[in-house]
Structure 1
Amino acid sequence: MGVPPAPVGQRGRAGRLSRVLLGAAAVPVMLVAAGCSSDSGSDDAGSKESAAGAGASASVSASPTVQAATYASLPDPCDTLSKGTLGDLVPKAPKSGKQGKSDDVATRGSCSWSSLDNNGVKGSQFRWLNVSLLRFDSDVTRGEGDKLAQEYFDKQVQDAQSVDGAKNAKAAPVTGTGEAATLVTYDLKKKEGSFKQQTLVTRVENVVVTVDYNGAGLAGEKTPSADSLAKLVKKAAKEAVAAVTKANAGGGTGTGGAASPSPSESASKSASKSPSTSTSKSASPSKSAAKKS
């Protein structure tokens, strides 16, 4: 005999109970799936945050750099010219030149010579020569050393053309001397006589060399020709540039990487003004001479 079927009411309750049990069994599966999804998102977010943090720290630690200056030192300015050249430019000058004062010989220096060839009642020939050197280091805020040197070079040329009392001022480029060179010439009348001034400004990498040379015939002597003085000052400038290069041969040049503002931060500051304290005073004798005349 077969089992009698359950009453209709019981079959309904049994069906509902089966559906409830099946639904309850599905809940843990959904929770597990949701948990896995939540954990995965958290890991991704953490990875992104750590990567972002690493990038931020890398950008913070990176520091700006600038191309290091080529030349790291200067020669003794009184040793930049040979005895032969000094004999041509200032034949009656003392054996040693007069060193200009400098608070940092690694970045600036100058040396001057004066010569008076006395010919008695016939008069005398006067010559004055000055060599000044100014070196610029690269600076992360101001720029590369050769750029700073070029700015100072331009200013030196402008200053040489604007001397009080200068007559017939002319400026002309000079080739074969450094990366850039300009010769400024003018006449200057003083109570002692008529002076012919030659100022040759040249830049060799991150160093500016200024050679001032003037001559006059005194007490009846004839005034020297500007052309003869120009040839001599060009010769002196070439030797001074060669002395700068020689002083930095064999490891004396700057190194790569970030450049620090020392020691020529002070030189850069002085370059933004008029020529440096030690070099400009000795390199512009014609200015003081103009005031006296």
Structure 2
Amino acid sequence: MHRSAPRLSRILACAAVPVMLVAVGCSSDSGSDGKKNAGSSSSGTASAKPSEPTVEAAKFTDLPDPCASIAKKTIEDLVPEAKKKGGTAGGSSDLSVRSSCSWNGLDDQGVKGSQYRWLDVGYTRFDSDQSLGSGAERATADYTKQIAKTKAAEGAKKVAAEPAAGIGEEATLVTYGLSKTDEDFAYATVVARTGNVVVTLTYNGAGYAGAKTPSSGDIVKGAQKAAKEAVAAVEKTAGAEDAPPAKGDAEDTKAEDAKKDAKKDSDDAKGDS
């Protein structure tokens, strides 16, 4: 009986050894998994996509008053006897994005009949948008659409289109004839783009009571003159805040500065005495 006790102790000690080895093995596997997880996390961070470049900012942030965009003298020449000298503004939910104005009048020439004239100017401004593109790109697309729309005018005859030089960054002149109210009308439309703004100006005329239809050349000349003024109004509106002072204002400013300097010198002299 006394000899069996040491033998039992040795058996229990040997049985405990595998348990320790298993524990050590588990600890090692856990460390390996930790390294794998850390590597996976690092890989995920490295694969992040760079941010997209921003589009170019729009050049113009506002539109001019369309009814004041064309000089009064020009209106008098192109639309004699206009019903409303100041024009009739078109409806718009946001005048900084879309606006228009029109004039019309019938000039009674007695036994020679009457001459009818109609002038319309419209503005559309496009903002830059990350998903849609820059304002200039969007305006260019609309410029193309407006030309196609004008050329497809219902009932238009002898439609012709050509570039119009010296009006905005790009411009197209579309001319055609149209019969309505039993009279023949001569039409000229100038579609122009400056920056992110599209300007569409239409001028037309007809002779009533036996009067002759105005020549296409006269209508084109009038449309181009008015279109140049309409485009210039956009550029003037955008640059008004940055414009230098007028010559008279500059001289007044210099005179005022001179008075201030003289007063300061006088005050300094009194202080020294």
Same fold (TM over 0.5): yes
1:75 to 64, 71, 90: 64
Taking the aligned partners of 1:133 and 1:68, their CA distance within structure 2 comes to 19
Look up the match of 1:89.
Answer: 78
Cross-structure match for 2:110:
120
In the other structure, the counterpart of 1:133 is 123
Q: Which residue of 1 aligns with 2:54?
A: 65
| Distance (whole Å) between structure 1 residues aligned to residue 35 and residue 209 of structure 2 | 96
Structure 1 residue 53: Cα displacement: 5.8
Q: % of aligned pairs identical?
A: 48
Give the total of aligned pairs.
214
Partners in 2 of 1:49 and 1:247 — Cα distance?
A: 57
SS of structure 2 residue aligned to 1:87: helix
Q: What is the letter of the counterpart of residue 74 of structure 1?
A: L
CA distance in structure 2 between the aligned counterparts of 1:163 and 1:52, rounded to whole angstroms = 60
CA RMSD of aligned residues (A): 2.6
Gaps of 5+ in 1: 1-34, 253-293
The amino acid that maps onto 1:229 is: I
Within the alignment, does 1:194 sit opposite 2:153 as a pair?
no
The answer as to whether partners of 1:77 and 1:111 remain within 8 angstroms in 2 is: yes
How far, CA to CA, are the matches of 2:46 and 2:80 in structure 1? Answer: 68
Aligned match of 1:99 in 67, 89, 102? 89
1:149 to 111, 129, 139: 139
Does the aligned pair in 1 maintain the 2:120–2:201 contact within 8 Å? yes
2: CA distance, partners of 1:49 / 1:86: 73
Q: Which string of whole-angstrom CA distances, capped at 9 and with x for unpartnered residues, describes residues 140-176 of structure 1?
A: 1111111111111111111111112111111111111
Structure 1 pair 195/63, CA: closer, same or farther in 2 (3 Å)?
A: same
In structure 1, which of residues 231, 238, 241 is the aligned counterpart of residue 221 of structure 2? 231
3-state SS of 2:239 partner: coil
Work out the CA distance in 2 between the residues paired with 1:83 and 1:250.
20
- What residue number does 1:160 align with? 150
Matched residue SS, 2:206? strand
CA distance in 2, matches of 1:78, 1:210: 14
Is contact 2:126–2:196 with CA below 8 Å preserved after alignment?
yes
1:240 aligns with 2:214: no
Amino acid at match of 2:221: K
Give 1:51 deviation, angstroms. 5.8
* Deviation of 1:59 (Å): 3.9
Give 1:89 deviation, angstroms.
1.0
How far residue 229 of structure 1 moved from its aligned partner, in angstroms, is: 1.1
Moved more, 62-71 or 166-175: 62-71
Tell me the secondary structure at the aligned position of residue 102 of structure 1.
coil
TM-superposed deviation, 1:192? 3.9
Measure, in 2, the Cα distance between the counterparts of 1:228 and 1:52. Answer: 72
Aligned-pair distance for 1:43? 8.7
Q: Is the 8 A contact 1:130 1:212 kept in 2?
A: yes
C-alpha separation in 2, matches of 1:183 and 1:216: 19
TM-score (norm 2): 0.71
- Determine if contact 1:102/1:108 at 8 Å carries over to the other structure: yes
From 132, 145, 160, give the equivalent of 1:170.
160
CA 120–104 in structure 1, closer or farther in 2 if over 3 Å, else same:
same
Q: TM-score, length-normalised on structure 1? A: 0.66
**2:85·2:103 contact (CA, 8 Å) conserved in 1?**
no
Structure 2 counterpart of 1:88, which letter?
Answer: D
Q: Do the aligned partners of 1:192 and 1:218 also contact (CA within 8 Å) in 2?
A: no
Q: CA deviation at 1:121?
A: 3.2
Give the distance between the partners of 1:100 and 1:208, measured in 2 at CA: 16
Please tell me whether residue 206 in structure 1 is matched to residue 196 in structure 2.
yes
Distance verdict in 2 for CA 1:164–1:154, change over 3 Å: same
Give CA deviations for 1:122-147 in whole Å, capped at 9, x if unaligned. 21000000000001111111111111
Which has the higher relative contact order, 1 or 2, with Cα contacts under 8 A spaced 6 or more apart? 1
Q: Which amino acid aligns with 2:159?
A: A
Q: Which runs of 4+ in 1 moved over 6 A?
A: 42-45
Distance 1:206 1:69 in 2: 6
